[in-house]
Chains A and B, each alone.
Chain A
Amino acid sequence: MDAPILATKLYIPPPRPDLVKRQRLIERLDEGVRLGRKLTLISASAGSGKTTLLSEWIHTLGAHRDAPLQVAWLSLDEDDNDPARFWTYVVAALQTVHPQAGQSMLPMLQGPHLPPARTILTPLLNEMAALSEPVVLVLDDYHLVTAEAIHDGVVFLLDHLPQQLHLVIATRADPPLPIARLRARGQLTELRADDLRFTAEEITAFLNGVMGLGLQPEDVAALEARTEGWISGLHLAALSMQGREDTHAFVEAFTGGHQYILEYLIEEVLSQQLEPVQRFLLQTSILDQLCASLCDALTGDSDGADTLKRLHRDNLFVVSLDDEGRWYRYHHLFGDLLLKRLGQAVPPEQRSELHRRASRWHAENGLLEQAVKHARVAGDFERIAQIAERAAGASLLDARLTALLRWVDTLPQDVLRAHPRLQIYRAWALYMNGHLEAAQQALGDCRQALETLPPSPENDALCRTLIRLLDIIDMIAQGFMYGVDNKIEEAVRLCSQARDLALEDGHVFLAAQATEGLALAQYHQGRLRASAQSCQQVIDLAAQGAAQAPLAAAGYVELAGIHIEWNDLEKATDLLDEALALCREWGIVQTLNEAYTAQSHLLQIRGDIEGAWEALEKAREFGSMEGDYSLVNFRLAAQQARLNLAAGEPEKAARWAEGMLAAFVSGRQLPAAFVETLQTTLARAYLAQGEAEEALTALEPLLGPAEAASAFLHVIEVCALKALALHALGDTSTALAELERSLALAEPEGFVRVYLNEGTPMAALLRQAAAQGIYAEYVNELLDGFRVCEYGRVGETPILPHAHTPTLPDPLTPREREILHLISQGLSNKDIAENLVIALNTVKRHASSIYSKLDVKSRTQAVVRARELGLLPLTSRSEPSA
């Protein structure tokens, strides 16, 4: 449902043949670019010739410069007050000169939540800085921008403008940008009303030269005085005087301010037109842009093409918007006055009819935004409902429902009630945008609306279809909430049922969403294998429709989380890369956040602490606006707590957990999964500070509810932590009993990281378990895991201080360090490949990269050099510690 880019907004108006050359102004414009100033501001009232001057300048640029400037043009309109739309058009304008410009920022602009301006613009500015040729970006009619968020973005743009980019803003009123500062620093070229005014010579050249009026000098002087050199006034005056005998009397007759002169002159110009042309002008004045078939749809005639061409030829304030002579618009001033006259000359119901026709034409031609806009002016909400309903039918399949919400939210209640299907779509859009409570409310309203439909065969059929759709959406929404709230079995039941019903009815998107909920619930059940299968099903379902990539991305992130738990870090890396690529391509901000959070965890495990913090920062940039209690933001904060713990700052992690829990105590309902994460974070912080008693106290209330709800993921984790606390208190036998309880649940599903993440104390405890033959095989596998991931253990300082690696100009990656470590233990490439479960060729590739980074030729040299650099311990074999 993305609005198509209107090429007409990017079209640089061609210079008119009947122009007076404005050399002095052209030179000022040239100077601004030549001196490398940041901004050219052309600020003057309507009809001062701003656009015309820019058009003339741009078309003379090639003629008198060695390297012609490239110019990107954007004509703004009222609809551009949506920041996402504004920046999308800025990118589209820049792409007319550099086809790849800003490609990477487009996805961010299409998601439901717009990131802050600096996030959106930084990649673009970097691209621009790398250009070899300078580019001028023209923003015409900037006075139509009123959105504070856009001004903020433009301020950011100006503050960080690279040398290669020059901004030109044409506006009727000074924009709220730091104009004074730029002026003081000599970074501004300014053309204002005084500069644009026609001089006496220019007036003579225009009236007598271009328009061929043959006026006397005193009449020219009088016109200059009356119009104050105001170009549109002169233009209209000249049009009125063409073919008139008594030009002197005409000049004498008008006086007053611009508005008065304008109305007077337009009256004059209009009255010279034939009646059909007058009618055409009035009727089409409601349009932002005109083309022949659209005009015909409004007037009911078939001569739109001829009329437009003639108006353009006669210079009747029609501006051509493309090279093909397809789209035109009225000069703003003229259009505004025509519209005003339409208001006076035509009764409201006829005006509404014109808007209805315009709406119909735009809808038929796929220009839905315009169709909705005209329907709204016509007060035809039924039409908006129909347009939205049709658009929603298609977009229920993809996640881009923001525009739909915007349209529907302007509808009066009674229209909305009459369109139950639309209400359901609206509820779904709310749900997909993360407004869970509003979605629940909307679903309830839908049910009520359906119940009050008068009974009839059609209505009954409609009701049956829609109630089923409602049920599916309801089940999914409920299922997601139950999944994180210790009603897991209920969640599994609801999501499975919703998935089956949705598949039966062919709602693939809904089916994928339900399966996603199922995967989440199964994960909390500790059923990693089943959850992985469900994730894969989400990905497969999503692959059935091109527009469902957002769901696939979410599936990849969840699946990556499971592979992290299995300690299959290579696979997890691949899955996250897949998810990130999809998110960037599709602008799925929320999932981007989750993917970066998962990546942070992964990098932390691999020992790349710096990378982990960076990933967390990126996640934060794409943070959800739903507050601290959204799943996305919660996961992000939890990962930060993990990093705090690893950095030896347990008090920071504890402060976060306590703060969140305090809010919980004060009445806020926190889902059980959140409470579990908070209490275990607290327990880890206590353990790190040697307060095992407190850790036990934090863990104690979790076990009962988790077991009752068969939330075995939590049971496994809580029992493992309890075991550590008991062990720290010296109660080894109870500790081993708790550990055994944890292992019994974890072993069948292959949990690994839940133990490895706890570091040295867990390794010690597991060795004791191995000695007593508790799950000996599984425990030995876990102990092997400790050996392999020696370098990047979570929760403690790596054996090899991280600070050593940067002494290499090109530091080793975590994987390379891992392989180097195995080389130093005397393993052959083949052994390493088996050990790490990767291809032999991959090992060889890593090895040759290690050699080149260490500047050595053989394995032996590599080990010696690595010891010198402190990349390996000085002893020949490193045993698992503790």
Chain B
Amino acid sequence: MTTYEIRVQGHLSPQRFRGFEDITVNHQPDGETVLTGHFPDQSALLGLLNWLHDLGAVLVSVRQLEGTHGRIFDK
């Protein structure tokens, strides 16, 4: 399991994440939503990213919180 933090523009309702139950959803004062979750591998992470994409959400950053790779994608 690897922990990732994903930031998207706008405040997404936590109810929309019913499919991804171990994701925590935090609304930031700057208008972004921060999603934190544990993913077994890249296919799992990609699942969430694809879904955000289908939703039309604008991705700000994807960051690995645990592990050695650090920031893998940043805007």
1/0 per residue, CB under 8 A from A, across B41-75: the answer is 11110111111001000000000000000000000
Report A17 CB to chain B, min CB distance, Å: 29
Q: Which of B19, B22, B40, B46 contacts A151 (CB 8 A)?
A: B19
Cβ A174 vs Cβ B43 within 8 A: yes
Known A-B contacts A176-B19, A180-B21, A181-B21; the reply to A43 vs B43 at CB < 8 A is yes
1/0 per residue, CB under 8 A from B, across A185-218: the answer is 0000010111000000000000000000000000
Cβ B47 vs Cβ A176 within 8 A: yes
Q: Given the complex of chains A and B, what is the CA–CA distance between A190 and B39 in angstroms?
A: 13
Contacts of B22 in A (CB 8 A): 180
Cβ B41 vs Cβ A172 within 8 A: no
Contacts of A172 in B (CB 8 A): 43, 46
For A, the interface residue count at a CB cutoff of 8 angstroms equals: 23
Q: Given the complex of chains A and B, what is the CA–CA distance between A174 and B42 in angstroms?
A: 9
Report A138 CB to chain B, min CB distance, Å: 18
Cβ A155 vs Cβ B19 within 8 A: yes
Q: Given the complex of chains A and B, what is the CA–CA distance between A174 and B47 in angstroms?
A: 4
Task: Name the residue of chain A whose CB is nearest to the CB of B51.
Answer: A176
Does A179 belong to the interface (CB within 8 Å)?
Answer: yes
Contacts of A155 in B (CB 8 A): 19
Q: Given the complex of chains A and B, what is the CA–CA distance between A288 and B26 in angstroms?
A: 42
Q: Which of B20, B42, B47, B50 contacts A193 (CB 8 A)?
A: B42
Report A46 CB to chain B, min CB distance, Å: 10
Cβ A179 vs Cβ B46 within 8 A: no
Task: Name the residue of chain B whose CB is nearest to the CB of A193.
Answer: B41
Cβ A176 vs Cβ B41 within 8 A: no
Does A157 belong to the interface (CB within 8 Å)?
Answer: no
Q: Given the complex of chains A and B, what is the CA–CA distance between A422 and B25 in angstroms?
A: 49
Q: Which of B40, B43, B49, B54 contacts A45 (CB 8 A)?
A: B43
Task: Name the residue of chain B whose CB is nearest to the CB of A43.
Answer: B43
Cβ B20 vs Cβ A176 within 8 A: yes
Cβ A192 vs Cβ B50 within 8 A: no
Contacts of A190 in B (CB 8 A): 40
A-B contact count (CB 8 A): 56
Q: Given the complex of chains A and B, what is the CA–CA distance between A179 and B45 in angstroms?
A: 13
Q: Given the complex of chains A and B, what is the CA–CA distance between A172 and B41 in angstroms?
A: 11
Interface of chain B: mostly helix, strand, loop or mixed: helix
Task: Name the residue of chain A whose CB is nearest to the CB of B52.
Answer: A176
Report B52 CB to chain A, min CB distance, Å: 10
Cβ A143 vs Cβ B44 within 8 A: no
Q: Given the complex of chains A and B, what is the CA–CA distance between A143 and B53 in angstroms?
A: 13
Does A148 belong to the interface (CB within 8 Å)?
Answer: yes
Q: Given the complex of chains A and B, what is the CA–CA distance between A447 and B28 in angstroms?
A: 55
Contacts of B51 in A (CB 8 A): 176
Task: Name the residue of chain B whose CB is nearest to the CB of A48.
Answer: B43
Does A564 belong to the interface (CB within 8 Å)?
Answer: no
Contacts of B19 in A (CB 8 A): 151, 155, 175-179
Cβ A173 vs Cβ B46 within 8 A: yes
Cβ A193 vs Cβ B43 within 8 A: yes
Contacts of B18 in A (CB 8 A): 178
Cβ B43 vs Cβ A173 within 8 A: yes
Q: Given the complex of chains A and B, what is the CA–CA distance between A173 and B41 in angstroms?
A: 10
Does A146 belong to the interface (CB within 8 Å)?
Answer: yes
Does A579 belong to the interface (CB within 8 Å)?
Answer: no
Interface residues in B7-50 by Cβ distance below 8 A to A read 18-22, 40-44, 46-50
Cβ A43 vs Cβ B47 within 8 A: yes
Most A C-beta atoms less than 10 A away, residue of B20, B42, B43, B46: B43
Contacts of A541 in B (CB 8 A): none
Q: Which of A174, A177, A181, A194 contacts B46 (CB 8 A)?
A: A174
Contacts of A557 in B (CB 8 A): none
Cβ A194 vs Cβ B41 within 8 A: yes
Cβ B20 vs Cβ A45 within 8 A: no
Contacts of B50 in A (CB 8 A): 143, 146, 173
Q: Which of B20, B41, B46 contacts A180 (CB 8 A)?
A: B20
Known A-B contacts A43-B43, A192-B43; the reply to A174 vs B48 at CB < 8 A is yes
Contacts of A715 in B (CB 8 A): none
Report A875 CB to chain B, min CB distance, Å: 61
Interface residues in A786-813 by Cβ distance below 8 A to B read none
Contacts of A171 in B (CB 8 A): 43, 47
Does A44 belong to the interface (CB within 8 Å)?
Answer: yes
Q: Given the complex of chains A and B, what is the CA–CA distance between A148 and B50 in angstroms?
A: 12
Q: Given the complex of chains A and B, what is the CA–CA distance between A146 and B47 in angstroms?
A: 11
Most B C-beta atoms less than 10 A away, residue of A173, A178, A181: A173
Q: Given the complex of chains A and B, what is the CA–CA distance between A194 and B43 in angstroms?
A: 11
Q: Given the complex of chains A and B, what is the CA–CA distance between A177 and B21 in angstroms?
A: 9
Task: Name the residue of chain A whose CB is nearest to the CB of B50.
Answer: A173
Cβ B40 vs Cβ A192 within 8 A: yes
Q: Given the complex of chains A and B, what is the CA–CA distance between A194 and B42 in angstroms?
A: 11
Interface residues in A536-568 by Cβ distance below 8 A to B read none
Q: Given the complex of chains A and B, what is the CA–CA distance between A176 and B49 in angstroms?
A: 10
Contacts of B40 in A (CB 8 A): 190, 192
Q: Given the complex of chains A and B, what is the CA–CA distance between A850 and B46 in angstroms?
A: 65
Q: Which of B21, B47, B49 contacts A175 (CB 8 A)?
A: B47
Report B17 CB to chain A, min CB distance, Å: 9
Q: Given the complex of chains A and B, what is the CA–CA distance between A175 and B18 in angstroms?
A: 12
Contacts of B48 in A (CB 8 A): 174, 176
Report B20 CB to chain A, min CB distance, Å: 7
Q: Given the complex of chains A and B, what is the CA–CA distance between A172 and B42 in angstroms?
A: 10
Cβ A43 vs Cβ B20 within 8 A: no
Contacts of B42 in A (CB 8 A): 45, 193
Report A186 CB to chain B, min CB distance, Å: 15
Q: Which of A43, A146, A178, A180 contacts B54 (CB 8 A)?
A: A146
Most A C-beta atoms less than 10 A away, residue of B19, B40, B41, B49: B19
Q: Given the complex of chains A and B, what is the CA–CA distance between A659 and B46 in angstroms?
A: 49
Q: Given the complex of chains A and B, what is the CA–CA distance between A192 and B41 in angstroms?
A: 8
Task: Name the residue of chain B whose CB is nearest to the CB of A175.
Answer: B47
Q: Given the complex of chains A and B, what is the CA–CA distance between A175 and B19 in angstroms?
A: 8
Q: Given the complex of chains A and B, what is the CA–CA distance between A178 and B50 in angstroms?
A: 16
Task: Name the residue of chain B whose CB is nearest to the CB of A155.
Answer: B19
Contacts of A179 in B (CB 8 A): 19-21
Q: Given the complex of chains A and B, what is the CA–CA distance between A190 and B41 in angstroms?
A: 12
Q: Given the complex of chains A and B, what is the CA–CA distance between A171 and B40 in angstroms?
A: 15
Contacts of B43 in A (CB 8 A): 43-45, 171-174, 192-193
Q: Which of B21, B44, B54 contacts A174 (CB 8 A)?
A: B44
Cβ B21 vs Cβ A173 within 8 A: no
Cβ B21 vs Cβ A148 within 8 A: no
Give the top 4 A-B pairs by smallest Cβ distance, nearest first: A174-B47, A176-B19, A173-B46, A180-B21
Residues of chain B whose beta carbon lies under 8 Å from any beta carbon of chain A: 18-22, 40-44, 46-51, 54
Beyond A146-B54, A172-B46, A176-B51, 7 extra complex contacts between A and B, CB < 8 Å:
A148-B54, A151-B19, A173-B43, A178-B19, A179-B21, A181-B21, A192-B44
- A selection of 20 A-B contacts at a CB cut-off of 8 Å is A43-B41, A43-B43, A43-B44, A44-B43, A45-B43, A146-B50, A146-B54, A151-B19, A172-B46, A173-B43, A173-B50, A176-B19, A177-B19, A179-B19, A180-B20, A180-B21, A180-B22, A192-B40, A192-B44, A193-B43
